[in-house]
Amino acid sequence: MRFFCRLLALGCMMLSASAVEAGGLMTNTNYHIAFDRMMARGASTEIDAAYSNPAGLAWGHEGWQLSFNVQKPFQWRDVEATVYQPYATAIGLENKLYKGEADANPFVPALFAAYKHKRWAVSLMAGIVGSGGHVTYDEGIPMFEVPVRGMMYQNGLPPAAYSVDAFMTGKQYIYGVQACFTYKFSEHWSAAAGLRVNIYTGYNRGHVVSRLNATGSELVNLQIDADQNDVGVAPILGLNYRYKRLLVTARYEFRSKLNTPNDTKVLSVGLMGQTTDVNALSHVIGNEATVAAITAKIEQITGGNKEAAQEMAEKVRPYLDGETTRYDMPGLLTFAVGYEFIPRKFRGTLEYHWFNDKNAKMQGNRQDLLTHDTHEILVGLEWDINKIFTVSAGAQRTDYGLSDGYQANTSFACDSYSVGTGAAFNVTPHLRINAGYFCSIYSDYTREQPIRYSGIPVMETYSRTNHVIGLGVDYKF
């Protein structure tokens, strides 16, 4: 009976899928369409500087500026699994590509506002600052299918003897509202200080049901519906130095602690027709006692297999009502150097990002499994063809410090190169339209060692695809 417990545990693990992430592992950096078309915007003095370089607004437009931007990402996350022999023949599964589609419906918006008067400026930015997406698994993943097939076979059940119905949908969004104050305190220096409120909202909903084909008898029935919400705060500091056509900038975002509690509406566990309403039980006796009770119940059903019972109960624990999960947004340090090669005509920027991921708590302390923090290098060029048309292009390299231990079927990352291009059109001296496109070219991650699912060795390769199109409107009063 131990294989039933493992099957249920794997179902719980599958429901921990994270949503789409951009920029760093938990942080987005593309809000304004100027980023899509140029990438390196750390030396901007235009309206997008409200996020990327608030201290730079000291040299921006005098008066009010507003900007509204929408982006549409198209993203895929695939896992290719190769089952080692002789297990591949035994379970009827050798090589399989598990395709996953992630989406941010219907689009990703961002709003900017700034007001400058002589030496000082104030700015606001609102957008989806972390994660930002919705993911659904319709055909399963290796960490679920391989153990199910293997354990069913080990217990004398060939693939034709049983069926598995699994479905999961998950969402993660971190909405952010940022306000900064900027002051130019000399001919060459300006500084900014501000605060961003980060609002986390997400959910995990789904089921895993397994039945015998001949009789319809239920082997496993797991049902989960849990919401998560929390609020964190991140102070922000910025500093700029300007000399003639040169602009040197630095910005630091402090870590935002997010410790999200579960608001669990449904959590039930069924084994061999015996169902326990775990959510109701936890409300009566408390979470710690509930884990112990689940362990005892499963141990009884499995004929005294205490190890399997404890393993399954610990997998259920993260979804108990009131249990918390860490989704910290890491500290972010950026440096940028911008230079006008031709005054008011042709400019370029070189930029560096450091995400302090290893000091930001993640679910299950996954940050400890990273080999180093995330590093990004960006470069961008922009050319004003005339007073009406501007074209730009840029590139970005992202290195996450990944390891086998960090990667999971439901949440994995791949190092990447990103390239972007686009244009701006000045409809009037006050109104500008931005259009941009960028894509990320990911390096597939192949595990150094096979991962074992219930003793079955599987070599996995993780791959991702990302395309983003965007359109925005800037207005100066």
Q: Which residue has the tokens 């410090």?
A: 401
Give tens-digit pLDDT for 340-350: 999 999 999 99
Contact indicator for 32, 41 with CB cutoff of 8 Å: yes
Using CB atoms within 10 Å of the CB of residue 201, give its burial: 0 to 12 exposed, 13 to 18 middle, 19+ buried: middle
Helix axes 278-285, 287-301, angle to 10 degrees: 130
Cα–Cα distance for residue pair 10/2, rounded to 1 Å: 13
pTM over 0.75: yes
Give me the pLDDT at residue 339, please.
Answer: 98
Q: Counting every residue, how long is the chain?
A: 477
The domains of the chain are located at: 2-258+327-476
- CA distances (Å), 350 to each of 335, 339, 378, 380, 400, in order? 8, 9, 6, 7, 20
Per residue, the 3-state secondary structure of 334-392, as one string, reads EEEEEEEEECCCEEEEEEEEEECHHHCCCHHHHHHHCCCCEEEEEEEEEEECCCCEEEE
Cα–Cα distance for residue pair 56/240, rounded to 1 Å: 6
Give tens-digit pLDDT for 281-324: 888 888 888 888 878 876 776 566 676 567 667 767 888 898 88
Give tens-digit pLDDT for 435-454: 999 999 999 999 999 998 87
Give me the pLDDT at residue 308, please.
Answer: 56
Helix axes 306-316, 2-14, angle to 10 degrees: 20
Query: Given CA atoms 381, 385, 388, 391 in this order, what sign does their dihedral have?
Result: negative
Residue 306 DSSP SS3: helix
- What is the C-alpha end-to-end distance of the chain, expressed in Å? 71
Contact indicator for 330, 258 with CB cutoff of 8 Å: no
Structure tokens at 187: 């001919």
Q: Which fold has domain 2-258+327-476?
A: Porin (2.40.160)
Report DSSP state, residue 411: B
Largest CA distance in the chain: 82
Amino acid sitting at position 224: I
Contact indicator for 3, 38 with CB cutoff of 8 Å: no
Cα–Cα distance for residue pair 436/93, rounded to 1 Å: 43
Report DSSP state, residue 129: E
Q: Which residues of the chain have pLDDT under 70?
A: 1-23, 103-105, 132-133, 148, 151-152, 154-155, 298, 301-305, 307-309, 311-312, 315
Phi, psi of 410 (to 5 degrees): -90, -10
